Amino acid sequence: MRSKMAPVSIRRVLISESVDPSCKTILQENGIEVTERQNMSKDELIAQIKDYDGLIVRSATKVTADVIGAASSLRVIGRAGTGVDNVDVDVATKKGIIVMNTPSGNTISAAELTCTLLMSLSRHVLQAAISMKAENWDRKKFMGAELYGKTLGIVGLGRIGKEVATRMQSFGMRTIGYDPITPPEVSASWGVEQMSLEELWPQCDYITVHTPLMPSTTGLLNDVSFAKCKRGVKVVNCARGGIIDEAALLRALESGQCGGAGLDVFVEEPPRNWALVKHPNVISCPHLGASTKEAQARCGQDIALQIVDMVKGKALVGAVNAQVLASTFTSDSQQWVRLGEAMGRVLKACSSSKQPYAHVHITTQGDCLKKSAGFLSSAAVVGLLSEGTENGPNLVNALPLAEETGITIKKSHSDVNEANGTCMVEVSVNGSIYTALGSVRAEVPILLELNGSVFRQPIPLFGNLLFFKAAGSPQLLPSVASILAAAAVEMDYFSASTASEGDQWYCMGIQSLLGDLGSLKPLVKEAAQLTV
């Protein structure tokens, strides 16, 4: 058995927008068939997507729920750029599709455009240039201000925010910022003092935003926050349209509360309401943040190389909805993924209940598994929910599917000194608790214990397995072996419990599955078989 998610099989990729030619070349050199079709309508994309394992887009293609629903074979959506708000990530996740972006491909280009707009706002460069083209010479009309000594507020201190900060510091600007994720000590190391938004607004002469667009950042700069700013504050948005409330920005410009705005992005692109764009104190661009030769080449190369590395099982970079997979792309991790899924399948077979699982509890032991509970939980749920179909759960969508079906997932780790590491999977179903304890030895996933029965010999978790529960008896093994022989099923090995009293679980490795488990009923109390 091998986890469905590593490596991922990608044979055909559709590129739906203009991407650097290196993207196609890299994919083709690695045996992936590539089709380029630009400017497709939504209906055309829906008709085409069913034939592809991968889709590469920029920002114009809207990968909606309808598109994803029609993608019967799709395994990865690659965004040649940073933002993925044109992709319905939640729907893709539930369908087990990896969504990845190129987090650093356009960093420098976006940062440089931000700095360009900041400088242009400070000196009215655009307005002066337009005036000159009209053969006017109005030196006094375009009196500007120095950036030196001014305070720049940076909302969002990721890669682009950092690059903007270091560049504007060279102009002598004081840089302050806000970010709920980047630790203050990290941003301080590159010269940005972090503070709350309430503290930040009134201090800024200039504000630039560099956050994703999400519910918590939509309308971050609005009527209320503009009112808290210095009168005449200038703002820049090269991130995503909607982070700055466009109607509130226009009101602030008209009242003078905002002294100017540099906008590269809009809620609707192209905008339908041009009043904001036409305001005399606005400098606007048609979403040019990543529109440099260097950024496009970098993004095209990056997305292709990320897909190739994923296909080859080398690494998973830029996955925005499958972080749990990032640590599974090693041979050691793969064996633990196999273990987690196999134990889930064993518990599914041996619980023999059609009732839904109430909870799944994963407990890891040993230093080698300190950071493994995440993917082991996903792997175990894959095994529990698998129906043996190609489109069943995988490591991307296992936990969201579990949540949808009402399963509570709990993860814990014990620092018990366990050299090899062990994983315990506990499931609750119909009021009963079932447990499995396993490990990986010599790169082989093994089962050590099932529902309290500790096996004398660890069970290798591959091939055909027959589990049964019965009271110990000298005649048990010969009697079961006789039934198998009568059904022409060969036994490879047998492992009994270390306990000698009471009902215990036993396991046999068999060459093929038994046609009718009912033949074992006179000998055992419970029986289950599966292929792992």
3-class secondary structure per residue, 394-420: CCCCHHHHHHHCCCEEEEEEECCCCCC
- Known active-site residue 33: no
- β-strand pairing of 54-57 with 76-79: parallel
User: What is the mean pLDDT of the segment spanning 356-362?
Assistant: 89
Task: Please tell me the distance from the alpha carbon of residue 193 to that of residue 188, in angstroms, as a whole number.
Answer: 6
Task: Break the chain into its structural domains and give their ranges.
Answer: 12-105+294-322, 107-284, 330-455, 463-532
91-100, 228-237, 312-321, 432-441: the lowest-pLDDT one: 312-321
Selected residue with higher pLDDT from 315 and 476: 476
- For residue 440, pLDDT over 60 is answered with yes
- For residue 151, pLDDT over 60 is answered with yes
Of 330, 311, 297, the C-alpha closest to 28 is 311
Phi, psi dihedrals of residue 493, rounded to the nearest 5°: -160, 170
Phi, psi dihedrals of residue 314, rounded to the nearest 5°: -85, -45
- For residue 104, pLDDT over 90 is answered with no
What are the angstrom distances between the C-alpha of 9 and each of 3, 307, 381?
Answer: 12, 10, 21
12-105+294-322 matches 107-284 in fold: yes
- The pLDDT of residue 390 is 57
Q: What is the CA radius of gyration of the chain?
A: 30
Q: What pairs with residue 434 in β-bridges?
A: 427
Cβ-contact 427, 433 below 8 angstroms: yes
Other Cβ atoms less than 10 A from the Cβ of 48: the count is 18
Task: Please tell me the distance from the alpha carbon of residue 291 to that of residue 484, in angstroms, as a whole number.
Answer: 68
- For residue 462, pLDDT over 80 is answered with yes
Structure tokens of 527? 């029986």
- For residue 495, pLDDT over 90 is answered with yes
| pTM (predicted TM-score) | 0.73
Of 421, 315, 439, the C-alpha closest to 371 is 421
Task: Please tell me the distance from the alpha carbon of residue 78 to that of residue 321, in angstroms, as a whole number.
Answer: 12
- Known active-site residue 279: no
Q: What pairs with residue 470 in β-bridges?
A: 504
Buried b (16+ CB within 10 A) or exposed e, 134-163: eeeeeeeeeeeeebeebbbbbbbbbbbbbb
Task: Please tell me the distance from the alpha carbon of residue 377 to that of residue 114, in angstroms, as a whole number.
Answer: 42
What are the angstrom distances between the C-alpha of 300 and each of 13, 123, 459, 531?
Answer: 13, 35, 47, 41
Cβ-contact 148, 320 below 8 angstroms: no
User: What is the mean pLDDT of the segment spanning 449-474?
Assistant: 94
User: What is the mean pLDDT of the segment spanning 400-415?
Assistant: 87
Second-level CATH architecture of 12-105+294-322: 3-Layer(aba) Sandwich (3.40)
Phi, psi dihedrals of residue 491, rounded to the nearest 5°: -100, 135
By percentage, how much of the chain surpasses pLDDT 90?
A: 75
Cβ-contact 431, 437 below 8 angstroms: no
Q: Which of 269, 403, 404, 490 is catalytic?
A: 269
Predicted confidence band at 283 (pLDDT cuts at 50, 70, 90)?
Answer: very high
Q: Which of 287, 338, 345, 361 is catalytic?
A: 287
Predicted confidence band at 354 (pLDDT cuts at 50, 70, 90)?
Answer: low
Torsion, Cα 346 352 355 356, to 10 degrees, reads 0
By percentage, how much of the chain surpasses pLDDT 70?
A: 95
- The pLDDT of residue 417 is 62
- For residue 109, pLDDT over 90 is answered with yes
Overall residue count recorded for the chain in this entry: 532
User: What is the mean pLDDT of the segment spanning 445-473?
Assistant: 95
- Domain 463-532: which topology? Alpha-Beta Plaits (3.30.70)
- For residue 200, pLDDT over 70 is answered with yes
DSSP code for 313: T
Q: Is the peptide bond before 184 cis (omega within 30 degrees of 0)?
A: no
- Tens digits of per-residue pLDDT, 509-527? 999 999 999 999 999 999 9
- Known active-site residue 287: yes
Write the class of the CATH domain 107-284.
alpha beta
Tell me which CATH homologous superfamily contains domain 330-455: D-3-phosphoglycerate dehydrogenase; domain 3 (3.30.1330.90)
Phi, psi dihedrals of residue 228, rounded to the nearest 5°: -85, -10
Q: Residue 125: which residues within 8 A CB-CB, separation 6 or more?
A: 119, 283
What are the angstrom distances between the C-alpha of 123 and each of 1, 142, 287, 318, 351?
Answer: 65, 7, 22, 38, 73
Of 154, 64, 127, 117, the C-alpha closest to 265 is 117
Predicted confidence band at 327 (pLDDT cuts at 50, 70, 90)?
Answer: low
Predicted confidence band at 181 (pLDDT cuts at 50, 70, 90)?
Answer: very high
Which strand (E) or helix (H) includes residue 12?
strand 12-15
Q: Which of 75, 79, 210, 240 is catalytic?
A: 240
Query: Hey, is 338 helix, strand or coil?
Result: helix
Task: Please tell me the distance from the alpha carbon of residue 454 to that of residue 518, in angstroms, as a whole number.
Answer: 25
Return the beta strands (E) in 174-244 as ranges.
174-178, 193-194, 206-209, 233-237
Q: How high is the mean pLDDT of the chain?
A: 91
Number of helices and strands in the chain (H, E): 17, 22
- For residue 43, pLDDT over 60 is answered with yes
Task: Please tell me the distance from the alpha carbon of residue 83 to that of residue 202, in angstroms, as a whole number.
Answer: 29
- The strand order across the sheet containing 33-36 reads 33-36, 12-15, 54-57, 76-79, 98-101
CA 99, 161, 126, 246 torsion-angle sign: positive
Task: Please tell me the distance from the alpha carbon of residue 91 to that of residue 217, in angstroms, as a whole number.
Answer: 21
User: What is the mean pLDDT of the segment spanning 286-303?
Assistant: 93
- For residue 4, pLDDT over 60 is answered with no
By CB atoms closer than 10 A (0-12, 13-18, 19+), residue 292 is: middle
Cβ-contact 248, 221 below 8 angstroms: yes
Structure tokens of 365? 């032991």
Cβ-contact 412, 362 below 8 angstroms: yes
